[in-house]
Each structure stands twice: as structure tokens, then as C-alpha cells.
A and B are shown apart, each in its own frame.
Chain A
């Protein structure tokens, strides 16, 4: 569906995307995980043919965005990071008029708008002004709107940023349904739980580069241990305690507010730490996550 080789985006002297390679297959959910400013949005804008490629090769749906931008966009659904809904118009009008941008015939569009309202859980809000909707509703409407042209590929740039947990789960459910129905999804996010939930494969981006690629479980097994023990000490003492903990784990990471021990069996290590007379203020054993992968690869947390 999408293939990039040496894809680069520069704004003046600043290199936002630095020679990245990736390949996205039909029907998969592909993620771009990374902190703000990693180059995810710039990559998405190039793939959606909204922003010209500075250097490298890019093919979307077998076409070259340089020459066939509008033709490609006709087959894409785009959920931008910031909503571009028309707040003055009704929910239904937003879907309808967006469909007309794609020249979907009126007779086809009317019933399609109704089924998309249902898809977005907005049937009873169809006549309301978009201005009156909650953030989660607006986001669902933006996603429904991106589907109005029946795209083969849907690009979602941070679909759930700024939403409360309940709204996020409802949205994930909708995206999961799309995936089940065979739509290819590209998702950028800085939430590791979102990437783990939705993505078949993903790349981890940092400073415009891809630092790792694979499925969430394979990334975790490649770059992290099975489990993690999190120990919290009095503020300012994390560094000092980390020294004493070196012997308990294959790797130790020190964060401003806690120490992470990368181990195979968390509970066992926790027990050993207690036996050694070390008394953290709080302790927790958990499974490794993409957050740990990111920390390992970049030395920084995803979300601060």
C-alpha cells in the first residue's frame, strides 16, 4: 500500500524526517510511535500527499505523490491531528459536504451519511451544530467523515490525543471494527497503549529517524526484558539507590521519579530486593511495554 525509501522532509535547515524506510501492507494496522516532534506528522503529511517530499522515494497505492497527489487523496481517508470540521454546520452537513468534495453522488451519499452517523454513535446528534459536540464526539465525527469516500487506506494522526479514557476506548473500538473489516490503517501516536492495542506492526520514531521496527510483542522481546520492576524512592535518592540495585537486574534505568529494573521474573526480584533490606516507598512488578522499548532505544520517556 505504502512504501518509502530514504524518505526525507526538510523545512529550511531543519530536518523533520531523516531518510526513513518503511513498507505498509494491505489490510494491516501500521503505527508510528514516538514523542512529539519525532517527525510522525511530517511523515503522515507526505504520505497523504499534503506536503511535498524533499528527498527519497515514496509510493502510495502504487502511485507517486509528486505527480498524482489528487488521485491518491481520492482513495485516502485522512484524520488530521487537529479537527477541520465546520463548526457552523450540522453534524450531518459536515459528512454530506465532505462527501461532495470527493464528488460522491448525492443519491449515494445520503444513505451513506446515515450509516456513518450510526458508525460514529452520533445518529441522535445528526441535526446539531458541530460546535455543541464534546471532544470525543468531534473526533468520532472526523473519523466518520474520513470514511465518507470509502477509502482503502485511512491515515489517523494522533486520533485520541486530548480525550478522556472513556472516549478513547469508544474510539479504539471503532478503529478496531474498521481493521476487522479489512481497511488499512496508519496510526501515529505517542501513547504506547494505543499502539499496543491497535497496531499489527509499528516503527518507533525519534528525531526524524526510525529507531526500531516490528510487531509490538517482537519489539518488546527484542529490546526489553519480560518483566519490569518499578521502585520509587524518596525524591532525589533514585540515582543513589540505583547503584545498590545493579546486581538484581540485567539492566537498570533511572527516571527522575523511579528506578526501573529489567528482569525475567518481577515478583522474584521484588522479593530479593526486600530480603536485601532495601525499602522503596512503593514497588510494582509488571510486564514490559513499548514504553520500555522506547526508553531503551532513546533514553527518554514517550510522554512526560
Chain B
């Protein structure tokens, strides 16, 4: 060390190559440094995620669409009532559920990615704590994690959409925007769930949340049948759940049956949830990580 006023060269440093670049706050934003770590780490571990990201959606489409869909289509075609296919927006069963599944799998994946990996970061592997020793703050960790989850959800959404297109279930060029919609749906879950997950000491509440929250939403938010089939009071509940709006949004875009008012309501509702989660999570992450 030479001098006392902040000059910081010499000594052991001189032996290390590239001594000219001290850490500073300029340069990449802290959020991107967190994101960069997750991206780099995923490059080492991505193989293990193929099943959940790509194969599950494909299996759902095959089972529900080809298997169950055949029965449903047969029934609707032979229906004596004038309703028939119009109940499904005038399309076959697979085409009806595919965009719903797009939204529902985004929800599932986002929820999964914002529970266990957050617990991993804060407690099991303590990777968040390593980040905080650098010029990175708790809210940067939160936002970097969310950005990474959004990337994962978007990638698997893109694959899902491509499979749908291959099956002939994409009816409108606006389907490209369904990728944004499904990612938004995922983040409407991920942001608040991560905010909650970071406050936990262990993972016991995660399966409960999944069983009491995610599974009922998956089944009753209009993914597999129009919610108008539900009793009135359940319809009311379904309409206030986030997944319902995600499903509606994705379906409208994929089938090309858009209506400006519902698009605005669905998008606004989901965006509010994301904003709430980001704001609330900024506080819970800071509270947990900076004591």
C-alpha cells in the first residue's frame, strides 16, 4: 500500500495480472450481474430441466388434446343443442385448451422457480449471501432472480408455442404476443411468491401452497373448459384469480379473438400483481438479507 489517501496499488497486487481494474459501481447494473450468474450457472445444469420445461407441456397436449379431445369433439359435433363448438369459441378441443395450457404451465413453472431456488439462495446454498458481499443489494438479488425466472418461463413458452403451431393450433399471427402474455402470467405468480418464499425458514409451506393454490387454479381457471360451465358462485371466484386472466389473454391472442376491453383488463390485472410482488419482495428480501 502506498500512501494513505486511497491509492491502492502495489504489494501482492503487483504479482497478479490485470491489476488496473478495481471493482466499481459503474458498469453493468447489479441486477444484470445477478442475472449473469444465474445464466452462467444454468449453462452447467440445464440438462436436468428439459423434462419440466419441454416434455410436460407436450405430454399434456398429447393426452388432453388427442386423447380427451377426440371424445369431446365427437360429443360436440353430435350435440343437438345449437351451442356445440361455439362454447369453445368455435374451435376443436385441443385448439381450445392449448393456449390455456400455455398460461397454466407458465404459472406452474414460475411458482416452482420462485420457491425452491429462492430457498436455495437464502438458506440451502446461500448463494444470495455471496452476492451481498459484493456491491449488490438485496433488491438487486430479487430483481435479478425474477428476471431470470422470466427468461426461463419465456423460453419454455416459446417452445410450447412452437409445438402448438406444429399441431396447427395457432390461428392468429397475434399468437406471438401470447409469449409476452404467458410470461406476464408467470411473473404475476413468481413476483409475489418469491416475496413470500424469502421470508420462510424451510420449504414446508411450498407443497401446501401448491396443493391449495396452484392445483385448484390449474383445474378451475378456464384452462380445460369454459368457466361458464361452473356454478355461478365458482365463476365469480374464477374470475378474480390471476390464472383466469392469463388463460383468457393467451387464448384471445392465439385464436385471434381479441376484444380491446378484456385485453386491457387482463393485462392490467396481471401487471398489477407483478408490480405488487416486485415492491413487496423488495421489502421482504431486504428484511431477510440485511439484518
Contact = CB atoms under 8 A, between A and B. Distances in A.
B11 A181 contact: yes
Nearest to B8: A152
Interface string B125-144: 11101111111110000000
B56 to A, nearest CB: 23
Contact of B133 (A26, A50, A82): A50
Main secondary structure of the interface of B (DSSP, over half): loop
A244 B143 CA distance: 69
A229 B57 CA distance: 76
B37 interface: yes
A40 B137 CA distance: 23
Contacts of B33: 100-101, 103
B18 A183 contact: no
A112 interface: yes
B11 A80 contact: no
Interface in B136-170: 136-137
Contacts of B77: none
A304 to B, nearest CB: 27
Contacts of B264: none
Interface in A81-128: 82, 84-89, 93, 97-98, 100-105, 107-109, 111-112, 115-116
A98 B130 contact: yes
A97 B40 contact: yes
Contacts of A27: 1
Contact of A112 (B17, B25, B34): B17
Contact of B18 (A82, A97, A108): A108
A104 B6 CA distance: 19
Given A27-B1, A112-B17, A183-B11, A74 B132 contact: no
Interface string A159-194: 000000000000000000110111110000000000
A102 B134 contact: yes
Given A84-B127, A86-B125, A183-B12, A50 B132 contact: yes
A102 B134 CA distance: 6
Contacts of A183: 1, 11-12
A93 B39 CA distance: 13
B15 interface: yes
Contacts of B27: 103
Interface string A10-54: 010000000000000011000000000000000001001011100
Contact of A149 (B36, B130, B134, B291): B134
Scoring B12, B20, B22, B34 by chain A CB atoms within 10 A of each residue's CB, the highest score goes to B12
B259 interface: no
A183 to B, nearest CB: 7
Nearest to A151: B23
A76 B134 CA distance: 8
Contact of A104 (B15, B21, B34, B36): B21
B135 A74 contact: yes
Contact of A107 (B8, B12, B18, B30): B18
A70 B30 CA distance: 10
A26 B4 contact: yes
Given A27-B1, A182-B1, A51 B290 contact: yes
A69 B137 contact: yes
B283 to A, nearest CB: 14
B12 A178 contact: yes
Contacts of A103: 23-24, 27-28, 33, 135
Interface residues of A, number: 53
B195 to A, nearest CB: 20
A1 to B, nearest CB: 9
B10 interface: yes
Contact of A102 (B19, B45, B127, B135): B135
Contacts of B137: 69-70
A48 B130 CA distance: 12
A73 B134 contact: yes
A96 to B, nearest CB: 8
A116 B27 CA distance: 24
A181 B135 contact: no
B159 to A, nearest CB: 24
Contact of B22 (A80, A87, A146, A150): A150
Contacts of B40: 93, 97, 100
A236 interface: no
A75 interface: yes
Contact of A82 (B11, B126, B291): B126
Contacts of B36: 100
Interface string A284-299: 0000000000000000
A177 B12 contact: yes
A69 B20 CA distance: 23
Interface string B62-100: 000000000000000000000000000000000000000
27 contacts: A48-B133, A50-B132, A50-B290, A51-B291, A61-B6, A62-B6, A70-B137, A73-B133, A75-B23, A80-B133, A82-B126, A84-B129, A86-B41, A88-B41, A88-B125, A89-B44, A93-B40, A97-B37, A101-B131, A105-B18, A107-B18, A149-B134, A150-B8, A150-B16, A150-B22, A152-B8, A183-B11
Given A86-B127, A104-B21, A181-B12, 12 more contacts: A45-B291, A74-B23, A85-B130, A97-B37, A101-B33, A104-B23, A112-B17, A112-B18, A150-B13, A150-B19, A181-B15, A182-B11
